[in-house]
Amino acid sequence: MIALLKRDLRLALRAGGGFGLGLAFFLIVVVLVPFGVGPEREVLRPIAPGILWIGALLAALLSLDRIFALDFEDGSLALLATSPLPLEAAALVKATAHWITTGLPLTLAAPLFGFLLLMQPEAYGYLLASLLIGTPALSMIGTFGAALTVGLRRGGLLLSLLVLPLYVPTLIFGAEAVRRGAAGLDASGALILQGGITAGCFAILPFATAAVLRINLR
C-alpha cells in the first residue's frame, strides 16, 4: 500500500501540474469572482466562504479523471487488480494520493485566498477545519466517479455530472460551518456532521469503487 502511495505521489509530482494545476485553477477562480460581482468589501465578505468551497470543489474535480485513466490505458490497473493487494485497498490509496496532491494543498492555500476575498478574520480557523475534514470526502467520492467513467473515451463531462450531485452534502456542511463561524455562531454541529460524511465515504466507497473497477476491467 505504501509503495503504491509513493508511486502515485511521485507520478503526480513528476508529471508536472499535479500540485500546481489545481492550485492555479483555484487562484484563477478566486481572482475572477471580484470581476464578476464587484470589489466591494460588503459584497465579497459574505460570499467568500461559499466561493472558496466551490473553488476547492471544482479544483478537486479537475484532476479526477487522472486518477485511473493512465493506469487503465497502460494496463497497470489490471496488474493492480491481480496483485495480492485487495482492490479496495488500492482504491483507498488512490483516493489518499489524490487528496495529498489536491485536497491538502488546497486546504493549506485556502486561508491565503480567503485573504484575497476579504474574508472575516474569525472564519479562517473554520475554513481550515472544514476543508481539512471535507476534502478527503471529495477525493474519495471523486475516486468512485473516476472508476465509473474509466472505460469511457470522453468521460470528463459525464464524470462531473455524476460526481457533483454527490458533492452536495459535503459542500453544504462545509460552507455552512464557515458561514456560521464567520457569523460568530456555533459551527461544531456542521463540522461534526461533515466529519460523519467523510468517515462514511471512506467506509463504504472503497468497496463500491473496487466493484466498479472489477466490472470495468472485465
Partner 1 sequence: MSWTRPVLPWTFGLAGVCLVVGLIWGFFFTPDDFRQGSTVKIIYLHVPAALMAINAWIMMLVASLIWVVRRHHVSALAARAAAPVGVVMTLIALWTGAVWGQPMWGTWWAWDPRLTSFLILFLFYLGYIALWEAIEDPDTAADLTAILCIVGSIFAILARYAVFFWNQGLHQGASLSLDAEKNVADVFYYPLLVCIAGFVLLFVALVLMRTRTEIRARRIKALQARGQHA
Note the residues at the interface with partner 1 (CB under 8 A): 144, 148-149, 151-152, 155, 158, 161-162, 164-166, 168-169, 172-173, 176, 179-180, 190, 193, 197, 204-205, 208, 211-212, 215-216, 218
Which of residues 2 and 168 has its CB atom nearest to partner 1 in the complex? 168
Which of residues 44 and 147 has its CB atom nearest to partner 1 in the complex? 147
Place of cell 485497498: 89
The Cα–Cα gap between 167 and 142 comes to 9
- Residue 211 Cβ, how far from partner 1 at the closest point, in Å? 6
- Residue 189 Cβ, how far from partner 1 at the closest point, in Å? 8
- Residue 158 Cβ, how far from partner 1 at the closest point, in Å? 5
Which of residues 26 and 53 has its CB atom nearest to partner 1 in the complex? 53
- Residue 156 Cβ, how far from partner 1 at the closest point, in Å? 11
- Residue 177 Cβ, how far from partner 1 at the closest point, in Å? 10
Which of residues 12 and 147 has its CB atom nearest to partner 1 in the complex? 147
Which of residues 71 and 176 has its CB atom nearest to partner 1 in the complex? 176
User: Is 182 exposed, middle or buried, given 0-12, 13-18 or 19+ CB atoms closer than 10 A?
Assistant: buried
Which of residues 100 and 159 has its CB atom nearest to partner 1 in the complex? 159
Grid cell in block for residue 99: 487528496
- Residue 32 Cβ, how far from partner 1 at the closest point, in Å? 24
Answer yes or no: are the C-beta atoms of 209 and 144 closer than 8 Å. yes
